Chain A
Amino acid sequence: MKTATFIYAVLLAVASAHPGAAHAQANLEINTPAIASLQGSMQQRHAQLAPLYAGGAVGLTRDGNVALRDANAVPLAQRQQVNSLIAAENQDRAALYREIARANGHPEWEADIRATFGQRWIGRAQPGWYYQNASGAWVRK
Chain B
Amino acid sequence: MIDKFVVRLTLLAGVLALAGCVTINIYFPAAAAEKAADRIIDEVWQLRGGEAPRADKPAAPPGENK
How extensive is the interface on chain A, given as a class?
35 or more
**B residues near A37, Cβ cutoff 8 Å:** none
Give the A-B contact count at a CB cut-off of 8 A. Answer: 97
B18 touches A3 (CB 8 A): no
A113 touches B33 (CB 8 A): yes
A126-B53 contact, Cβ under 8 Å, with A6-B7, A112-B28: yes
Q: How far is the CA of A96 from the CA of B37 in the complex (A)?
A: 10
A46-B44 contact, Cβ under 8 Å, with A14-B14, A117-B37: yes
B17 touches A14 (CB 8 A): yes
| Residues 1 to 40 of chain A near chain B (Cβ within 8 Å) | 2-3, 6-7, 10-11, 13-14, 17-18, 20-21, 24-28, 30, 35, 39
Q: Dominant SS at the B interface? A: helix
B32 within 8 A of A: yes
A28-B35 contact, Cβ under 8 Å, with A17-B21, A39-B40, A46-B45: yes
Jot down 17 A-B pairs with beta carbons below 8 A, ordered by A: A2-B3, A3-B3, A10-B10, A10-B14, A17-B18, A21-B24, A26-B32, A28-B29, A28-B36, A30-B39, A30-B40, A109-B33, A112-B30, A117-B37, A120-B37, A124-B52, A126-B53
